[in-house]
Structures are given as C-alpha cells and as structure tokens.
Structure 1
Amino acid sequence: MGGELSGNGEAQILPDSARKQGGWTAFPFIAGTLMGSSIALSGWANNLIVYMIEKFHVRSIDATQTFNIAAASTSLLPVIGAILADSLLGCYSVIWMSSLVSILGILVIALTAMLDPLRPQPCQIGSSICQTPSKVQFSVLYSGIALACIGVAGTRFTIAAMGANQFDNSKDQRIFFNWFAVTLYTSMVLGATVIVYVEENISWALGYSLCVAVNVIGLAILLLGRRYYRNVKPQGSPFTRLAQVVIATILKRKVPLSSRAEDYYHQKDGPTENRASMPTKTFRFLNHAALETEGDTKVDGSIAKSWRLCSVQQVEDLKSLLRIFPLLSSSILLCITLPVVSSLTILQALTVDRHLGPNLKVPAGSMIVFILTSTAINLTLIDRFLFPLWQKITRRSPMPLQRIGLGHLFNMTGMAVASLVESKRLKLAQIHHLSDQPGSTVPMFVLWLVPQLVLVGLGEAFHYPGQVTLYYQEFPKPLRSTATAMISVVVGIAYYFSTAVIDLVRRVTTWLPDNINKGRLGNVYLMFAMMQMFNFFYFLFCAKCYKYQSVEEGSKINNESSNAEI
C-alpha cells in the first residue's frame, strides 16, 4: 500500500503500521462500540414520548414535537463531530469523548426516573388534572436529553467513517457499510424491544440504567480494540481549503481564463493520480482560483498566498460538493417519512388494542421496532438475493442512485398506506362514539399499524446504504468523515422540517388535536405523501443530470465477487 490510505485523503500512514492494523480484524470492536451506543439510544429515545406523557404529564403532540427535536439533534449534530474528526482530533478521540458525554446524559435522564423530586407527582386516580412539572424538573430532564443527543451525535457516524478507514478498496468499504447498517438496525431493535419493555412493565429507572450500562460496555469495547485500529491523523480543516477557493475566485474574477493546463497551479506533492491536469468546464467561474498570476508562487514553486491561489484539485473538490448538493436537497423529504411515521404511529398505538394475549401488551414506544426489523431483514435479502439477480439480468451492479430511487417509492407508498389505516381507525372511533372519551381504546388491533412501518423499513433498506455509499465515494477525499455524516445531517433537517410542518398544521387546521380521535391524522399522512410524490420527480431530474465522479457507473460483475456481499 503506498504511504497513503487509498480512498481516504484524511491522513498519511506508515506502511509498517498499515500492514499490522485495520482490515476486518478491527471490525468486531467497531461493531461492538456501535451496538452499545445504538442500543442505549434506542432504549431511551424510542420511549421518550411515552415517558414524557406518563411521568411528566406533557401533552401528546408536545411530547411528539420534543421527540422530533431530540431526534433531529442526534442526526444533525454528527456533522460537527465529523468536522472535528477530519480536521483536529481524529475519529477515535471523537468517539470515546462523545461516548462519555452520552453516558452522562443518559445517567441524568435515569436520575429523573429514580428520584421523586426530579419529576412531578403522579396524577390522582380518577382525576384528569395532573401537576405541571416545575422549571427545575424540566431543566434537569432537558439537560439530560441534550447531553445524550450530543454524545450520540459524536459517535454513530464517526464510527462509520472510522470503520471505512480500515479498508483500502471500495468493495470492502461497501461491504462494511452494509454490515454497519445491519448492526445499527439490529441494535436499535434490541433497544426498542428489550429495554422499552423493561421501562414500561418493570421500571423506568431500571430501563434507563440498562441504557447506561450498555453504553459503558460499548465504550470499553472501543478502548480494548485500540491496538487494532488503523491510526489516521487529521490534516487540518478541509473546509479552510474550500473557503480559499471561494475567496481566490472572487479576488481573480476579472482575470481571463486560460485554455492551457500549464497556466493553472497543480499541487507539487501528493500522489500523481490526485492531481487534475486541467480544470473541468462545469462551474467554470471557479477555475479563476487555480489560475497562476505574477507573485502567486514562490521561487520553489509553492503557493505564496493561499487565499489568492489554489490548486486545481482544491477547485475540483469544491465542484464535487456543488454537483451533489441537488441530490442532497432531494433527500430531505425522502427522509421525512421516518420521523413522521415513527412518532405519529406511537400516538395511534396509544389509542388501539395492544394486547397480544392476557398477559402481554405491546409497548407503544416499541412500534418503531417494525421499521427497524423490516430494514435489517430487507437489507440482507436485498444484498443476498435481489442484487445478485439484478446483476445476472443486467450484467451491471446496481448504482447508489438506483437504490435511493427505490427508497423514494417505498417511503411514499408507506405514507399513503398510513393514511388509509388511520382513516379506518378514525372511522371505528366514530362508530363507537369514542371521540369525546380521551384515553379510550378503539376496537382495532395494533397489528393494523404494521404494514405502514414495514414499507417504511423497506424504503430505509434501499435508500440508507445507497446514500451513505454515494456520499462517501463522491465527496472529496479530505471530507470522508463528513461524508458519512451527511445522511445524518439530511435526517436531522428532515426531523426539524417535519416538526415545523406539524406545528404549522396544528396552527392552521384542526387535524392534530391532543385527542387524535377528534382530528384528521390521515390528512396529515396524505399531505406528506403528496409532498414526497413531487419530491420524487425532482429527484429523478437531479439523478438524470448527475454524473458519478468516483463510482464507476455500470461496473461489470466480473470485477466484483458478489458472494462477498452480505
């Protein structure tokens, strides 16, 4: 392997070190760390709505909004951890420090369940009037949620970048991302079933304590595997390099562009294959930044003023980000399905019959397990059966954008099915005159809510790995950690957007009262389905215009060993 990690411009690595570290030897430790963090997150987050309603007497829609904001934070903040990993601390340091913050946050949430003064008194039996939490009680709860969100944000997708950094070729990286997704969703299933069941049926304090324990175990596994990790050193902020292109372009905007490659500045060090001989014609105005003029370079050929002259490679790195931005924007409404369906389905589940027998009742907070299970199972089926069949028929490997497109279709269908199921639930509530009886149970079995969740999970199985692979392979090499966090950023924006839309719907319509038996939740689902339909056409346009930079479109089967896929 030369001195540099192939597929990652994040660091320089000594050949002797590279031979001894990295590869699949490091995977069990990375997977164990991911499992500990994900089980803990799933355990406290998926039941947060129920906890706030039952123990803090928060109104149902307000609890849902709080959950969406917390989920958005755990998705949006990873980009900060990724930037720190790329530019300053490295992946390993960011992960262990974030794990400590996560443990502290979950511990604070656990204390609200353990100590009576940290939560309001229970509602009086037979009374609908409940004590409102004090400012101190709310402050402690929200502080714990904030710390837990910050901790999770610094671990989950930085682990993805750290794992991909252990491998030299895109094939192993693609296999790793598939296993990463399977591990992530399987862990979330465990948290949403075992821990959520303990919280609702045994003790909230015990459930949150288990979250702390598994997070500690995950941190211990990370530390135990330190000797096996490929050590990647950060090389400073890549965003500074991108900003230099913008400033240099502005400063040289009046300098005529040249058609000769020798008039542009090329990096004097680094692998030859990373040097662009001539700037591309797309976003041609940015080529001014690489145009050499008098006084831009020193006698030895190095740059004299970094904010006035950039290399051709720097210019091309910024262009690659600009090219992929439309696809990123189209993913926001694609990812909005998960926050909308997962949170509102909990409110539906609280109103229907959740008994699976005389002694077993499905926790409302565990409904998301159907999405997670569907995703985990379909990920395996897709890579074991569907994609090999695709390759035999087309003689080509499926491309990331094709996976994402299928995800659009299934997510949109899941939202439409959710609207139909809600119409049936609401009709039953009206037939049995339950609209004016808050807390009453609609005679509808909880498994009616499963099809919408399974479809959303199927959509996740297609678009989630597709997006992670696309961003990792198409982003500039110095931004690999940031690339793996981009799907998380998109999900975070989707959560915030869904929160804003739902709040707007509450203000201008009567569709979302506290008692959903008096509302029109089906209209909300249908509205989001229509938004996604128009967004799908926008995605198709963006995908048609996009040209892969790093992914070789239509790679032949004989260049891949399909049986190495999961």
Structure 2
Amino acid sequence: MAGPVSGDTEAQYAGDPSSKPGGWITFPFMMATLLGMSITSFGWVLNLIVFLIEEFNIKSIAAAQISNIVNGCLSMLPLVAAILADSFFGNILVISASTFISLTGILLLTLVASLDFLKPTPCETGSNLCQSPSEFQLGILYTALVLVTIGAGGTRFTLASAGANQYDKPKDQGSFFNWYFLTLYAGAITGATAIVYTQDNASWKLGFGLCAAANFVSFVVFVCGKRLYKHEKPMGSPFKSLISVVVAATVKRKAAISSKEEDYHQGLAKTSPAMPSKSYGFLNRAALKTEDGGSVNNIWRVCSVQEVEDFKAILRLLPLWVAIIFVSTPMVMQTSLMVLQALVTDRALGPHFKVPAGSLQVIIMTSASTFIIINNWLVYPIYQKLTGKRLTPLQKVGIGQVLTILSMAVSAVVEAKRLKTVENGHPMSVLWLNTATSLTSLVIGVSFYLSTALISLLQRTTKWLPNDINKGRVDNVYWVLVVAGVLNFGYFLVCSWFYTYRNLQGDNEQHPKDVST
C-alpha cells in the first residue's frame, strides 16, 4: 500500500474533486528514481569483493563471505520494508527515507575510498605482508555498508508497489511493470559495466562518487514528485493475519473441532470457503466461534476460514521452499567464486581493454533475462503444442534445478582446466567463465548465508579454499555442489509428487498427480 496523504495534498484534492493524484504523470518520477537507485546499488555491490581485497587488504575468501552476507541482507530487507510500508508508514514515506539512508551510506563509502586514514596502507607489490584494517576503519566501512544495504533494500520492491498503485486499470499496471523491470535491468547493467569499469580503471573515489550522484538525483526527483503521487493509507501486513491464525489456534487448542458451517467465522470475503479443509486440522480451531473464544472482531481470538486456508497454503509450500533455498546456495557460491576466479585469469580483450572482475556478473542478469524470454515465448509454447499440456510451476522449477546442476559441473571442469593453465604459466582467458555462469539465475537471500556457512565449513575441513585459490581446488568445491544438487533434486521431486495444487477458480484442491493444468 502507498503512504497516507499529507495534510496539504489532502486538502488540495478535497477542494477540487476533479483533480486526481497518480496516473502516468508520476511515471517519469518513479522511473528516474528506480534508474538512479539501480545504478547506485549494483554499482557498489557487484564490485564489493574486489574493493575489500584491493583497498582493505581483506583475504579473498573472507571478502567473498562478507559479500554474501551483504547480498543476503539485500535480498531479505525488502520483506522488512514491505511490512513497514503496509502496516505503518506507506510506500511513499519508506521510499523517501530509504533513498536518503542510501545516499548517506554511499557518501560515507565515497569518503572511505577518498581518505587514506579510513583504510589500511596498500600492500607492497609482490609482498605477502599486508597491513590489516583497524577496528575503527572496519567500523566506518561496515557502517557505510549497513546504510547502503538498508537504502537499497528499502526501495527495490517498494518502488514497484508504489508505482503500480498510481494506476486504476490493470492494463496500465501491467505496462508499468514492464517498464519497471526494463529500467531495473538497465540500471543494473549500467552499474555492472560503466561504474565497475570506472572503479577498476579510474579510481574507487570516482566510481563511488558517480553512485552518490545517481543516488542524489533519485532522492531529489522522488521528493519533487511527492505531491503528484496517489497516497493510500497503510492497510496492515498479511503477516499479521498469518500470526493471528497461530495465536487463535493455540488459545483454543482444547476446543472440539466442529463439522457445522455455522460454527466457523466466514469473514468479509465473498469467495471464502464455508468449511476449512481437513488438512492441518489443528489450525481449524482458529476459525471456530466459541463462547470463550472472544469477539469475531478480535483477530487474535477468531480468524476467518479464508485466513486459515491461506496459512495452510503457506505450510504446504515450506518443503518446496527448502528445496529452492538449497538449490540457490550453489548459485550464490558460484557468483562469489566467479569473481575470485576472474581476478586470477587473463581478463584482457585486445591490447587496450581489460574486463573488470565485478562486471562478469552482468552475464547472470542478461542470461537470466534471455532464458526467461526464450522459455516463455518459445520453449514452453512448443512443449504445450506437442504434448497438449502446460508445464506446471513445479516442473519449471525442476528444469531450473537440472540446469543449475549442469552449471556446477561445467564450472568444475572449467576450474580444473584453469588450474592446469596456471601450472603452465599461461592464465586462462576470462571468456571461459562465461560458459559456466550463463545457466545461473536469481538467488534467494537465505542462500547467501548458507553459502557463507558452507564456505567456512570447507575452509576448516579441506584445503580446497585457501586465500590464494591458485593453490586450492575450487573444482572440487563445484563437484561437491553437483552431488548436493543431485540429492536436493531428488528431495524436490519427492516434495513435488506429494504437493497438492490449488484450483484458484473453484477453490478446490487438485489431485497431486494431475499436472495437466
């Protein structure tokens, strides 16, 4: 939901009923804000590993772990921002505050890159003895990273929600989302190429300074358009209703479950089922209207049947989410290790151009977008025409898991070949890493933390991940991920076999073996 209307704006529209906020007049403000914030966030995060290694003398594996933690927060903070926007402040206020917080953080990061006393003395060429950053220097660095992470996480998807709220017609909302993702990827690619190249070949100060300039423009533009936006009052987060189901069912845990429709609270939803389903029957007590259960207006004592069924739908998805999290962990590990591999490869393309290590991650963005387009417009329609059936969402996820396993196998072979070139004294061309990353796609925030834990475990139990990966066996790490991926795929197949699809039109449950719809 969007934020509440400010007093002056509310009075303005109350005095002139024909004057309606929102609509396409807000489009340039939203897109300019999104473009600037995308350039900013991708501009600093994609090259973070290189920055930590080169400017803070942090060991390569430790830098990859820090990057994983930051990326994990970037992936999970939008959920926090959504709860704050829906329940308390509205999207407009959350976006305004987030862009300002991000601006503060990127300015601090620019200062860190500019002032020598805020970072350790650079390592001498050819020396293994490097000065470690002090606690003060790390404190300033981590403060900057926290601020820019909060700012990026608070705007990335709230901008999508706020922008869609400006339109009344679904067609206009669909057009907005098309432009939203196009602008998001345009900003991401700009950050991954132009900004990262500037950081590597000009200076970190200029690179972060350009990010700060883009962030500043985003903040100013968004605030300037504030009077034009459609402001909607916060309506509450859906997570509140999910929690209320657990609380209400627990409070009435001793109540007898009824088989009569009139004993259950229906709520206001016209399409709400009359009776709760039999699965997870202990949750049905949440919708029971008991004498000691409290008023139906007390959500912590009585929930609607629809709310109970929504919570059950979440529970049915949990096993599949676990499988997706575990399949995403290899992908995020591959993303981090790819940067470390790129740093020790020959990245020269011709005599005058050297590919920045951080820019290789743009391959993931472009390949993901390409595969989505090819699958939706070519592969899936051909499959449906040949078989007469549509692929279910779980079947599509399964295909993605197979591609991820193949990607890990390719990465293992590529790394083994790269190590042989190191022994021969001829570094492998960076173009070999394209092949290995073209099958990867989007990641899940939790996977970054699992990736960090797995890297730590491998460091403690094997010699495969030393700080100098030329002396390690990253290819063995990829083979471990291949085996883990195969086991996870088996688990995913079991979960998919028992999963019950829900017919949204008739709100009836579909047989788990029926995958024709």
TM-score normalised by L of structure 2: 0.87
Q: CA deviation at 1:504?
A: 0.5
Which one is further off, 345-354 or 131-140? Answer: 131-140
What residue in structure 2 maps to residue 278 of structure 1? 275
Q: CA deviation at 1:530?
A: 1.8
Paired amino acid for 2:486: M
**C-alpha spacing 1:541/1:180, structure 2 compared with 1 (3 Å):** farther
**C-alpha spacing 1:227/1:382, structure 2 compared with 1 (3 Å):** farther
| Unmatched runs of 5 consecutive residues or more in structure 1 | 1-7, 433-441, 465-489, 554-566
Q: Mapping of 1:353-502 within 5 angstroms?
A: 353-390=346-383, 392-393=385-386, 399-432=392-425, 442-456=426-440, 460=441, 464=442, 491-502=444-455
What residue in structure 2 maps to residue 487 of structure 1? none
What residue in structure 2 maps to residue 352 of structure 1? 345
**C-alpha spacing 1:519/1:409, structure 2 compared with 1 (3 Å):** same
Q: CA deviation at 1:224?
A: 4.6
Do the aligned residues in 1 keep the contact of 2:30 with 2:159 (CA within 8 Å)? yes
Do the aligned residues in 1 keep the contact of 2:2 with 2:233 (CA within 8 Å)? no
Q: CA deviation at 1:78?
A: 2.0
Do the aligned residues in 2 keep the contact of 1:182 with 1:376 (CA within 8 Å)? no
Q: Mapping of 1:91-102 within 5 angstroms?
A: 91-102=91-102
**C-alpha spacing 1:212/1:513, structure 2 compared with 1 (3 Å):** same
Q: CA deviation at 1:252?
A: 2.0
Do the aligned residues in 1 keep the contact of 2:3 with 2:91 (CA within 8 Å)? no
TM-score normalised by L of structure 1: 0.80
Do the aligned residues in 2 keep the contact of 1:33 with 1:222 (CA within 8 Å)? yes
Where 2:352 maps in the other structure, the secondary structure is coil
Do the aligned residues in 1 keep the contact of 2:99 with 2:151 (CA within 8 Å)? yes
Do the aligned residues in 1 keep the contact of 2:368 with 2:439 (CA within 8 Å)? no
1:108-130 C-alpha deviation (Å, 9 max, x unpaired)? 11101111111122233453322
1:178-221 C-alpha deviation (Å, 9 max, x unpaired)? 65444433322211110010011111101001111112223334
Where 2:349 maps in the other structure, the secondary structure is coil
**C-alpha spacing 1:166/1:396, structure 2 compared with 1 (3 Å):** farther
Counterpart-to-counterpart distance in 2, 1:510 and 1:17: 71
Greater relative contact order (Cα 8 A, min sep 6): structure 1 or 2? 1
Residue 50 (structure 1) aligned with residue 3 (structure 2): no
**C-alpha spacing 1:524/1:19, structure 2 compared with 1 (3 Å):** farther
**C-alpha spacing 1:320/1:169, structure 2 compared with 1 (3 Å):** farther
**C-alpha spacing 1:549/1:63, structure 2 compared with 1 (3 Å):** same
Do the aligned residues in 2 keep the contact of 1:18 with 1:230 (CA within 8 Å)? no
Counterpart-to-counterpart distance in 2, 1:551 and 1:228: 36
Count of equivalent residues: 497
1:378-427 C-alpha deviation (Å, 9 max, x unpaired)? 33344444445455556666554343333222222211111110010112
1:43-63 C-alpha deviation (Å, 9 max, x unpaired)? 111111111111111111111
Q: CA deviation at 1:29?
A: 4.0
Residue 337 (structure 1) aligned with residue 330 (structure 2): yes
What residue in structure 1 maps to residue 150 of structure 2? 150
1:211-244 C-alpha deviation (Å, 9 max, x unpaired)? 1111222333433554564433212344333333
Identity %: 45
1:115-173 C-alpha deviation (Å, 9 max, x unpaired)? 11111222334533222222211111111011111111111122233345456788876
Q: CA deviation at 1:513?
A: 0.7
Paired amino acid for 1:198: T
Do the aligned residues in 2 keep the contact of 1:22 with 1:229 (CA within 8 Å)? yes
Residue 287 (structure 1) aligned with residue 284 (structure 2): yes
Q: CA deviation at 1:102?
A: 1.0
Which one is further off, 16-25 or 123-132? Answer: 16-25
Counterpart-to-counterpart distance in 1, 2:108 and 2:432: 36
Counterpart-to-counterpart distance in 2, 1:57 and 1:295: 64
1:439-487 C-alpha deviation (Å, 9 max, x unpaired)? xxx431110111011111xxx2xxx5xxxxxxxxxxxxxxxxxxxxxxx
Paired amino acid for 2:265: Y
Q: CA deviation at 1:328?
A: 1.9
Residue 212 (structure 1) aligned with residue 212 (structure 2): yes
Counterpart-to-counterpart distance in 2, 1:548 and 1:172: 30
**C-alpha spacing 1:52/1:157, structure 2 compared with 1 (3 Å):** same
Where 2:149 maps in the other structure, the secondary structure is helix
Paired amino acid for 1:50: V
Paired amino acid for 1:233: K
**C-alpha spacing 1:68/1:331, structure 2 compared with 1 (3 Å):** same
Where 1:455 maps in the other structure, the secondary structure is coil
Counterpart-to-counterpart distance in 2, 1:540 and 1:228: 50
What residue in structure 1 maps to residue 236 of structure 2? 236
Q: CA deviation at 1:551?
A: 5.4
Where 2:157 maps in the other structure, the secondary structure is helix
Paired amino acid for 1:79: L
Q: CA deviation at 1:297?
A: 5.9
What residue in structure 2 maps to residue 195 of structure 1? 195
CA RMSD after TM alignment = 3.1
What residue in structure 2 maps to residue 437 of structure 1? none
Counterpart-to-counterpart distance in 2, 1:49 and 1:312: 49
What residue in structure 2 maps to residue 513 of structure 1? 466
